[in-house]
Amino acid sequence: MTTIAWTGEEVAADTRGTVGQLVQQSPTIKLIKRKGVIYCLTGDFAQCLAVVDWLSSGADIEEAPAFIDEPGFDILAIENSVTGNIFSNSYHPYPVEPPVTLGTGHEIALGAIMAGATAYEAVEYACRLDMNSGLPVQKMKVRK
């Protein structure tokens, strides 16, 4: 229910939030910066926030959230313009390099990036075509 795009120099996300079958009327912030790391959130928001709290406080395996191996979230953690990790229903990171796209509009966004779009433009395109992604688009610059 999200589109996230990371091109290296910037990361962008849609701001549509849902509760069950209802679309929230206020924007949902899906890019959070903590201790220099940008966390990009997809899936269950409460799970995402608990995992971000755990990651940003040192990621002690003994203190991992109890649900961490259950389906419900994907988090892209970006440290700089070339280094990122995906946490997909797991506390084991999967290293990635840009371009990276996540969420229900990820294929649209990746196609746009491959055609020359910025991360912001790619998410904008996805919002036009993916019913689970919505405007406005949030973006952050990524440090080198």
- Tokens 């912030």, residue? 29
Domain range spanning residue 77? 3-139
Q: Let me know if residue 118 belongs to a domain.
A: yes
In the predicted structure, residue 19 carries a pLDDT above the cut 90: no
Tell me what the mean pLDDT of segment 34-56 comes to: 94
Confidence of residue 15 (pLDDT cuts 50, 70, 90): very high
pLDDT of residue 70: 74
Q: Let me know if residue 53 belongs to a domain.
A: yes
Q: Let me know if residue 25 belongs to a domain.
A: yes
Q: What is the DSSP string of the chain?
A: --EEEE-SSEEEE----EETTEEPSSPPP-EEEETTEEEEEEE-HHHHHHHHHHHHTT--GGG--TTTTSSSEEEEEEEETTEEEEEESSSS-EEE-SSEEEETTHHHHHHHHHTT--HHHHHHHHHHH-TT--SSPEEEE---
What percent of the chain shows pLDDT beyond 90? 74
Confidence of residue 8 (pLDDT cuts 50, 70, 90): very high
pLDDT of residue 30: 97
Enumerate the β-bridge partners of residue 99.
Answer: none
Q: Let me know if residue 48 belongs to a domain.
A: yes
Tell me what the mean pLDDT of segment 88-104 comes to: 94
Tell me what the mean pLDDT of segment 31-58 comes to: 94
Q: What is the CATH number of the domain that holds 72?
A: 3.60.20.10
Between 137 and 68, name the one with better pLDDT. 137
Number of domains into which the chain is organized = 1
Q: Let me know if residue 122 belongs to a domain.
A: yes
Write out pLDDT tens, residues 116-125.
Answer: 999 999 999 9
Q: Let me know if residue 144 belongs to a domain.
A: no
